[in-house]
Structures are given as C-alpha cells and as structure tokens.
Amino acid sequence: QTNSMESILRDIHQTNSQIEERISEIKSSISNEAEHRLGNMEDLVHGLETTVQQLQETVVKLQEKTDDLENHSRRCNLRLVGLPKGEEGKDPVSFLESWLPSFLNLLDLSNNLEVERAHRAFLPRTSSTDRPRMLVFKLLCYRDKEVILRQARKLGTLTFKNKPIYIFPDMSADLFQKRKSFFSVKRLCKDLDIPFALLFPARLRIDFQGQRLFFANPLDAENHIKMASLPEDSPSSPREQRPHPLSKADRSSVSRP
C-alpha cells in the first residue's frame, strides 16, 4: 500500500510538472503574440500620426493659398465707410466715378476714373438702423486704387455732409485680423516717433536706430523696440528678453518715451 501511495504521488507530481510546463509555454506564446501585435499597433499609430501631421501641414498651406487667392481677387477693391444711405442713388458706379475725384481733389482722375462695379455690403441688420452699410467697389485700374488711398491718407480726416468718411482697402477676414494684431506696436511706434509702415499682406517695416527692419510677428517687433528703449542698467522682464539683444551702444542711442 505504501508503494502504491508513492506511485500515485509520483504520478501527481509528474502531471503537475507537465501542466506547469504547458502553462509556461502558453504564457510565452501569448506574450510573444501580444508583443508582436503591440509592435504592429505602434507602427500603425506612428504611421497614422505621420499622415495626420502631413495632412495638417497640407491644410495650412491650402488655407494660406486660398486666403492669398481671395485677397488677390480683391486687389482692386476699396471700401467706403460712412457714406449716407442712398447718396449713391440707383447707379453707384456713375456716382463714384464723378464724386470720388471731386471729393478727394484728384483732378487727374476727373472723367478718367473707371469703376467696374459697386454695391453696399451685405451685412446683417444691427440695432443701429441709421448706420449706413459700407460701399464696396472695384476699380478697373489698380493704380487708381493706390492713388485714391495715398490721397486719402494725405488729406487725413475726411468728411461729407458733416459725416466722417473712411476709405480702406478690401481684404479677407483672416488678413484683416492679422493686420489688426499690429495695432499695439503701431501705437508704440507713434508714441516713440518711430517711422513705420504696415506692408501688404501683414508685415511691419520700421526705420529704427539707423536700420530698416521688418517683422511678421507684432510681438517680436514690440519686444525689439522695448528692449532697445531700455536704459543700460534696467533689467528686462522675462517677456521682453530676446535671444540676441542689441548692444549697449545701440540701446543708449534711443531716448526713453
């Protein structure tokens, strides 16, 4: 009976060993399969991330192209703001061709100005019903647009029948926001008597410390001017620190506001 029990125990032990060995093989097989599948998924995710990044870059480029094409199509357009409602009559084209040269004192454009089309802007109604909608018009000649804008800037404040009149170039909403973002640095340039110009489409040119500089980012321009305007012994704030600050000689040549 004792031998029988020992035999049974040996069989049980042998069976347990076989089971444990088999379980170990199954675990190893599952682990290898999981690692293989996980590796494939990582490769697939990496490929998808690369594709998404490429698509995002393509979308940005297409948006930039679309915006450029839109603004290119508006290159001969102007916006007239403040003209009383109905002043243009039923023929805004003829009205502008005769009224603009006289209003802006442009004798060279009298009887020579050609407006291709004109209409009031189709904007949603506002609470101020007395506020006239802007008049958008397209000139046949691009040079006429430049002459009109230059003369409007030269004359300064424009009024018609005791109402302020404004003339702006026509542009897309995205470009308008980009140009609007330069408002703060343009005001800073005015305060410091720094000559500047906002070039098309949205690039600031300043004549500063004997240099002509160009900025596509308004914050870069603002930080550059502020850093250069600091006295030599004044620490700059973290926001105003730049990788390549101006020399002490350059900073001392600009007076403080």
Give the domain-ending residue among 147, 170, 193. Answer: 170
100 and 141 inside one domain: yes
106 and 66 inside one domain: no
Give the domain-ending residue among 154, 170, 186. Answer: 170
91 and 157 inside one domain: yes
Q: How far apart are CA 219 and CA 214, in angstroms?
A: 12
91 and 159 inside one domain: yes
| DSSP string over 26-72 | HHHHHHHHHHHHHHHHHHHHHHHHHHHHHHHHHHHHHHHHHHHHHHH
Number of CB atoms found within 10 A of residue 75's CB: 14
87 and 67 inside one domain: no
Domain-located, residue 195: yes
Give the domain-ending residue among 43, 72, 101. Answer: 72
Residue 249: the pLDDT is 38
122 and 151 inside one domain: yes
Q: How far apart are CA 47 and CA 53, in angstroms?
A: 10
Please tell me the pTM assigned to this model: 0.62
List own/partner pairs for 226-235 with CB under 8 A and 24 or more apart: 226/188, 227/251, 228/254, 229/192, 229/254, 229/255, 229/256, 229/257, 231/256
224 and 152 inside one domain: no
pLDDT in tens, 196-243: 999 888 999 999 888 999 999 999 999 999 888 776 555 544 444 443
Exposed/middle/buried for residue 143 (C-beta within 10 Å: 0-12, 13-18, 19+): exposed
Residue 124: the pLDDT is 61
Domain-located, residue 159: yes
Domain-located, residue 257: no
116 and 65 inside one domain: no
Parent domain of 100: 77-170
pLDDT in tens, 66-106: 999 999 999 999 999 999 999 999 999 999 999 999 999 99
pLDDT in tens, 29-52: 888 888 888 888 888 999 999 999
Q: How far apart are CA 109 and CA 144, in angstroms?
A: 8
Q: Specify the number of domains making up the chain.
A: 3
What phi and psi, each to the nearest 5 degrees, are found at residue 165? -120, 135
